Structure 1
Amino acid sequence: MQTHTLGYPRIGSKRELKKACENYWVGKITQQALKNQGYEIRKENWLLQQQAGIDLIPSNDFSFYDQVLDMALTVNAIPDRYHETILKTGNTETDLYFAMARGYQKSGLDITAMEMTKWFDTNYHFIVPEFVKDQSFSLFSTKIIDEFKEAKALGIITKPVIIGPITFLLSGKEKEDGFNRISLIDNLLPVYLELLEQLEEQGAEWIQFDEPYLALDISDEVKAAYGKVYTTIKTKFPKLKTILATYFEGIEENVETATNLPVCALHLDLVKAPNQLQTVLRHIPESMSISLGLVDGRNIWKNDFKASLEQIELAKNAIGKDRVLIATSCSLLHSPCDLALETDDEALPSQIKNWLAFAKQKVEEVATLKYLTEENLNEDQKAILEANLQAIEERRTSPVIHNQAVKARAKAVTEKDAERDSPFAERQILQHNNLKLPLYPTTTIGSFPQTKEVRSWRAQFKKGQISSSKYDELLKRETKKAIRWQEEVGLDVLVHGEFERNDMVEYFGEQLAGFVFTKFGWVQSYGSRCVKPPIIFGDVSRPHAMTAAWTEFAQSLTNKLVKGMLTGPVTILQWSFVRNDQPRSETCKQIALAIRNEVQDLEKAGIKIIQIDEPAIREGLPLKKAAWGNYLNWAIGAFRLSASVVSNTTQIHTHMCYSEFNDIIEDIAQMDADVITIECSRSQMELLGAFGDFKYPNEIGPGVYDIHSPRVPKKDEMLELLEKAKAVIPEKQLWVNPDCGLKTRGWEETQAALKAMTAAAETMRATATSPVA
């Protein structure tokens, strides 16, 4: 019996990678210093897992930005706009890599970044590969080989983690019509074979191919491609041991395809789909081992050893212990690094801390499970098992988890509570008369740049170095500056800037009952962007108002409209570590009721436009279509419950980003938000087609520039996108806004971009054919 992990967090326990990347991007450190930091993180991760007793330690789970982008660079799936142009200007492969992720705007070049979207149903964003018909591939980057050699020099023969060729192709997009990207497999496979040949020459024994698409609804063509790819690999490399890793779902529907593949081991996510084990055991051939994904890679709750050991015993009895591997359910990329760093008992009480495990502890759990599989346990093993059982039972029965008043309120919710007073067509007339906005009204998504100065105030306040009154005074000064600047640039609907907020979910969680927080529980969202998800441990309620005072203050500074800014219940749920002792739908309903209270307070304070952000609605969609209906019913119901308490004249906005809407557009319409803003610029308004084809009835703000890139777009670029939007959406329904919030951008680029955006809106109004709103 062997142990392994599918991957380890790459940001560093104190976000060392984030700091190094951002310093490199602004020229504060050299490229070599950046690479040195990357090596130190990899080395620490390898040694940590070796010391914990992991048998198969992963390599190539590290990335300076994104693992899918790494694979695109490896196989030379580099769009023409980057490939030679950037290298010819004296840049390195590293600069080419970051240009693909972030865009490039110097040396006379102005190149947009590649599209970005969510990695399956997680909050991790990946760079979307671009494919054209008859595309050729070649081995361009040697990163996978180089990192294997680094670990080998430390005396560790790692298990390279490689995104499988099918999943790589399916994760991308066709950039021209007339072909299916899976048809490129014959061109791509030889590059994988070349890569494997070099790894085998270096002494690689095990290779992990990540193929999560095998757990999804796939076509017969894709199933055939799986057979072809892995049969070819086995024929070419008969001695190489391969693990095919599925995760985030069960493979029941594809079990025959998976178990007929000539791979050495098949990995199953037994956290997300525990019942699939028995199905797979009935089909697995004698030549195949099974990897049991028992330790949760996506949540922070301590492993239930008793339940995991039962699964191990089931597999051992069916196929023998020598064919069983114990593992994490997926990569630990989605987990914080180390629970031992959390020493603040006030923020994270020791009682709740005893129920948790972060990445380092999860590695130890994997090794401990193997330790506990012996037939006759010694006293040490018995003590470990008893302590675990006690922690699991203590959490289950703890009174801090349950609030009967909250449960009763959620139980009393009716369908009427989730309905507006009148349909949108009637509300729209009332809102237009009340708000008196022009055609193509301009706004932003909510946040403005959080400068080092603003972040330093927050840090000083948390450390007790400045008083609450002083902190409020500084934030009010910053808010006033933001309001004045928005007035000067000519925005129509203003925001207060959110300078008091650390994160769009964490800020609300800090004020809601049922949440606790960490100091170092950072998780990568994309690139250098890290988030610190709250932990929902119990029933959720709102003890006090959360945002109304700041929004009311901002509104008092201007005669223009100021939006109230809230995070929606589904997004708070999705972007938190959620309790796993009750259905997620029930927790979401509790959060929705808390947000509903906040919406009421904002309306009472005279706020006429309220935005309830729900970027995670699509992200939470189950990976298999059979489960969509149930999820969409409760998720959209939760949004409507939070929003439907207002009068007809109050305009409800929502925001979504980096999601595909085509297949759920009717459900998006059921949210019944008066205005929806979406990410559209990276895809050149491709996403808007779904709204046009469906004849989306409500108002919509397609993002006209990408805020995740430091490049500043020109007015003409935004005009081109608005003209594309106007071609599919009636102009009286169109708003003008950036793709997302501006928190991570600098003021100089933000001001330049928003000036260009408002100028583009003015030009659109000047040529409008619709009557003025």
Structure 2
Amino acid sequence: MRTNIPGYPRIGSQRELKKACENYWTGKISLERLELTARQLRKQNWQTLQEAGIDLIPSNDFSFYDQVLDMSLALGVIPTRFRELQQTLVTPGCLELYFAMARGYQKNGFDIIALEMTKWFDTNYHYLVPEFEEVQTYALQSRKCLNEFKEARSLGILTKPVLIGPVTYILSGKIKSATLTHNLLLERLLPVYIQLFTELYEAGAEWVQLDEPSLVTDLEPGTKALYNTAYTAINTALPQLKIMLTTYFGGLEDNTSLVTELPVQALHIDLVRAPEQLDTVLAALPETMQLSLGVVDGRNIWKNDFTHSIALLQQAIQAIGTERILLATSCSLLHSPYNLDDETTLHPEIKQWMAFAQQKVGEVVALKQILSGNTTLLQENREVMNSRQTSAGIHIPAVKARMKNITDDDLTRRQPFPARQSLQHALLQLPLFPTTTIGSFPQTVEIRQLRSNLKKGNISPEKYDADIRTAITEAIHWQEALGLDVLVHGEFERNDMVEYFGEQLQGFAFTQHGWVQSYGSRCVKPPIIYGDVQRPQPMTVAWSSYAQSLTTKPVKGMLTGPITILQWSFVRNDQPRMQTAFQLALAIRDEVKDLEDAGIGIIQVDEPALREGLPLRKAPRAAYLEQSVQAFKLAVSPVKDETQIHTHMCYAEFNDIIEHIAAMDADVITIETSRSQMELLEAFAHFRYPNETGPGVYDIHSPRVPGVAEMEKLLHKAAQLLPPRNIWVNPDCGLKTRKWPETEMALRNMVLAAAKVRKEFSVELQPG
């Protein structure tokens, strides 16, 4: 039995890649220095896997920004707006073009909007959306995959190159021309794929891994036919190259026969998310096909239950024999932190239940050893599993009792939205097209250093509080001078929108180095929910109250919603996820009520991850959405009708969940629409979304500063789709990752754009 790893983290255990990229973007280091850091990280990863004894080691799982963007560069899928820039560059597939597509480009006479960004299936990883245009000519423009394969070979390591499979790649993009179809795109892209495969084979590659997670979703018959076309063509062109078709994040279900009839040499399946698929896959698997079994969880940080995994492996061995089985993680370890050994502050009892990427590789190897007769490893694992099941630190009787007492009345505002809207407009007296921001302001070096000094004990809590109050004071006065209508306190005290709350809730644990990539250089350190959740004391009231005391304008209270905290944490796997979500909702509910009692009249409870948790298959979606809406409403419903509840969502398609967004019954929802040029807003218009909406008018994930006319144009688009009296004006997300100069320019332009559009409309907001 051989071992297989579909992918490994790439940011570095100390976020070396993040720091190098950001230093390169700001001109602090050279391109050569950036590339040296990348080579060092790749070498470390390959050698780690080789020394662990992994047989199929991945390459090309490394990326400077995003693996889908890497694929776009390789295939020459470059939007027209970047072509003039491309022609000025010496190397067509160079990093300057690459980063321009990822982040936008605003220099040397160019002003180019970045590619759209959205979530990779049901993860918190964001990818850059390919754009397919009729005028594009596809050709191999980046040989990154080939170069990294050769780089590993020079170190004496034969790797398995990893690429996005052709059908999933096409399905992940947006077709920008009415004359293009998926079939036509596949016909044009396949020759480029095959050219790359040919060069890999000639360089000595034996295996190529093609990731096709779309196979765990509901597929139309025409889409299924694309798989036959693609893989038949690849096999015909290169029958000697071994293809490992890799699926993850769910089960094949009705796509099982489709996949097992494809001319590929190996199939990888995820037995963590969908263990029930093993029976049907084994029954359908042809004798010529090997099977990679993903039994070690690549998406969570809990130790593998060896007894459970061994049962699955033995079932497969009995059916097809040891020689055709590969033992693997469920998916790429991109979604896991690097190394648990780096953590020195975790409670020993909790730490013993965990495994990060390096430990998960060890678990793959350990399972192989157990199958070879190592009973000691199995017994040690059973003892750890038993200690977790019986731990007194996990269960809180008061939380369980409160959960049982939740009623329908706890999930409902007192009056419907129209009545609430009249009361809120009369109280707030906001203008047409009111302006606000999503919540956070730039986290400067000084602010981050302040938090670091507090943690290290270099400054007193009193000194820290005073400096944070100073930052809040400056932010409030600055917003007033700018002319914003609804202010925020800036969130200077917060390290992360989930971690900050988790640190103040029972049932959470935290790491020092448990970083995972969210997008580009943006890394997050998800909290770990290991036990029952409750709020011992108020978390944000003091900061929000202080900010409100500085101004007569309304200041929003800023909270993270229960589903987002759930999705962006490593969640306990010993109870249903939604049970944990409702515990979180009760904790947020207490905070919402305390904010209202403290005089905060607008409270924002962000749920950017609500759609992220949507099941990939249609059948279970209704139950998930219903429970998610209930969790949100449980969190926000104790307030009076005069209190305005906001929520925020970003980087998601809304068409198929718009009814449930409406059912959340937030008074105002702010959404990301700038990269799509308000396209996402059409779902709200078609549905006739009844409540107020703030479509983002500029992209905060890019350093590019949009002009007044550009934002004014977007607001006109919004006003064609929604009632003007229901439109708010805001950026598309929080400003934490931006720099102050660009933030000031962009928000000033935003306020000017809102003022110009406001004058153009004769309609005025009237109570009711």
TM-score in terms of structure 2 length: 0.99
Matched, 1:640 2:641: no
Q: 2:367 aligns with which of 366, 369, 375?
A: 369
The 3-state SS of whatever aligns with 2:559 is strand
Hey, what's the Cα distance between the residues in 1 that align with 2:739 and 2:284? 56
User: Counterparts in 2 of 1:35-74, with a 5 A limit?
Assistant: 35-74=35-74
Which of 641, 648, 657 pairs up with 1:664? 657
Code of the residue aligned with 1:613 in structure 2: it is D
Corresponding residue for residue 33 of structure 1 = 33
**Residue in 2 that maps onto 1:522:** 515
Contact 2:138 2:188 in 1 (8 A): yes
Question: Offset at 1:261?
Answer: 0.7
1:653 paired residue number? 646
Question: What is the DSSP-based 3-state SS (H/G/I as helix, E as strand, rest coil) of the residue aligned with 2:619?
Answer: helix
**Aligned match of 1:566 in 543, 547, 559?**
559
Matched, 1:629 2:622: yes
Shift of residue 396, structure 1, vs aligned partner: 1.2
Q: What is the CA distance between 1:211 and its match in structure 2?
A: 0.2
Quick one: which amino acid aligns to residue 559 of structure 1?
T
Q: Does 1:83 pair with 2:83?
A: yes
- Supply the AA of the counterpart residue of 1:302: K
User: How far 1:178 sits from its partner (Å)?
Assistant: 4.6
CA deviation string 1:65-95 (max 9, x = no partner): 0000000000000111113324416687110
Q: Are the aligned partners of 1:87 and 1:96 in contact in 2 as well (CA < 8 Å)?
A: no
* CA apart distance, 1:367: 1.2
What letter corresponds to residue 83 of structure 1 in structure 2?
Answer: R
Aligned match of 1:132: 133
- The one-character-per-residue Cα deviations of 1:134-176 (angstroms, maximum 9, x if unpaired) are 7431100000000000000001110000100000000000113
The root-mean-square deviation of aligned C-alpha atoms, in Å, is: 1.0
User: How far apart, CA to CA, are the structure 1 residues paired with 2:582 and 2:478?
Assistant: 38
What SS does the corresponding residue of 1:667 show, helix, strand or coil?
Answer: helix
Structure-to-structure mapping, 1:482-631, within 5 angstroms:
482-631=475-624
Q: Deviations over 1:336-383 (max 9, x none)?
A: 000000011xxx101000000000001111111111112xx2xxx222
Amino acid at match of 1:390: E
The Cα of 1:177 is off from its aligned counterpart by 2.9
Give the Cα–Cα distance (whole angstroms) in 2 for the partners of residues 383 and 89 of structure 1. Answer: 59
Whichever residue aligns with residue 246 of structure 2, its letter is: A
1:388-399 aligned at under 5 Å gives the runs 388-399=381-392
2:417 to 416, 419, 424: 424
Shifted more, 227-236 versus 446-455: the winner is 227-236
Give the aligned residue type for 1:359: A
Q: Name the residue aligned to 1:723.
A: 716
Alignment of 1:181-580 (within 5 A): 181-344=182-345, 348-374=346-372, 377=373, 381-580=374-573
Label 1:182 to 1:722 Cα distance change in 2 as closer, same or farther (>3 A).
farther
- CA–CA distance in structure 1, aligned partners of residues 589 and 44 of structure 2: 46
**Superposition deviation, residue 233 in structure 1:** 1.3
Q: In the alignment, what sits opposite 1:23? A: 23
Change (3 A) 1:220 1:135: farther
Distance 1:86 1:74 in 2: 14
User: How many residues get paired?
Assistant: 765
What is the CA–CA distance in structure 1 between the aligned matches of 2:316 and 2:157, rounded to whole Å? 29
In 1: Cα distance, 2:582 partner to 2:701 partner: 31
- Which residue in the other structure is 1:709 paired with? 702
Q: Which amino acid aligns with 1:64?
A: F
* Structure 1: unaligned runs, 5 residues or longer: none
1:715-738 deviations in whole A, cap 9, x for unaligned? Answer: 000001000100100100000000
Larger displacement relative to structure 2 (62-71 or 256-265): 256-265
SS at match of 2:593: helix
**Structure 2 SS opposite 1:503:** coil
Query: What are the Cα deviations for residues 651-686 of structure 1, in whole angstroms up to 9, with x where unaligned?
Result: 000000000001111111000000000000000000
- Return the offset for 1:399: 1.1
Q: Distance in 2 between matches of 1:89 and 1:391?
A: 56
Change (3 A) 1:367 1:739: same
Alpha-carbon offset, residue 709 of structure 1 = 0.2
Deviates more, 1:227-236 or 1:473-482: 227-236
Query: Cα offset for 1:133?
Result: 3.5
| Maintained 8 Å contact 1:131/1:181 | no
Q: Distance in 2 between matches of 1:508 and 1:91?
A: 46
Question: Aligned AA for 1:582?
Answer: Q
> Aligned partners of 1:26, 1:303: CA distance in 2, in Å?
42
Q: Which residue is 2:143 aligned to? A: 142
| AA of the residue aligned to 1:682 | R
Share of identical aligned residues, percent?
A: 61
Q: Deviations 1:240-260 (Å, cap 9, x if unpaired)?
A: 111100000100111110111
Q: Distance in 2 between matches of 1:135 and 1:452?
A: 42
Q: Kindly provide the CA deviation profile for residues 520-551 of structure 1, in whole angstroms up to 9, marking residues without a partner as x.
A: 00000000000000000000000010000000
- The more displaced of 163-172 and 89-98 is 89-98
Whichever residue aligns with residue 703 of structure 1, its letter is: G
Amino acid at match of 1:308: S
**Distance in 2 between residues matched to 1:661 and 1:740, nearest whole Å:** 16
Which secondary structure state, in structure 2, belongs to the residue aligned with residue 647 of structure 1? coil
Matches of 1:194 and 1:158, distance apart in 2: 19
CA-to-aligned-CA distance 1:538-591 (integer Å, 9 cap, x gap) = 000000100000000000011110000000000000000000011011000000
Contact 2:85 2:97 (8 Å CA) reproduced: no
State the AA in 2 paired with 1:40: Q
SS of corresponding position for 1:611: strand
Matching of residue 740 in structure 1 with residue 733 in structure 2 = yes
Conservation of the 8 A alpha-carbon contact between 2:655 and 2:683:
yes
Q: Deviations over 1:437-459 (max 9, x none)?
A: 00000000000000000000100
* Residues 25-50 of structure 1: CA deviation (Å, up to 9, x unaligned): 00000001101100100000000000
Deviation by residue 1:670-717 (Cα, 9 ceiling, x = unmatched): 000000000000000000000001110000000000000001110000
Kept after mapping to 1: 8 A contact 2:152/2:159:
yes
Contact 2:438–2:734 (CA<8 Å) still a contact in 1?
yes
Equivalents in 1 of 2:471, 2:607: separation in Å?
26
Structure 2 counterpart of 1:300, which letter? I
Unpaired runs of 5+ residues, structure 2, are: none
SS at match of 1:619: helix
| Contact 2:78/2:136, CA 8 A, preserved across alignment | no
Deviates more, 1:410-419 or 1:582-591: 410-419
Amino acid in the other structure paired with 1:459: S
Q: Is contact 2:79-2:133 (8 Å) kept? A: no
- Secondary structure of residue in 2 paired with 1:507: helix
Distance 2:363 2:492 in 1: 40
d(CA) in 2 for partners of 1:90, 1:39 = 22
Amino acid at match of 1:369: L
Q: Aligned partners of 1:736 and 1:613: how far apart in 2? A: 17
1:677 is aligned, of 670, 682, 701, to 670
Code of the aligned partner of 1:14: Q
Mapped contact 2:649–2:672 kept (Cα < 8 A) = yes
The alpha carbon displacement at 1:770 in A equals 1.2
8 Å Cα contact 1:166-1:182 kept in structure 2: no
Deviations 1:256-313 (A, max 9, x none): 1011111111111000001100111111111111110011000000011111111110
Give the aligned partner of residue 693 of structure 1: 686
Measured in 1, the distance between the counterparts of 2:87 and 2:390 equals: 61
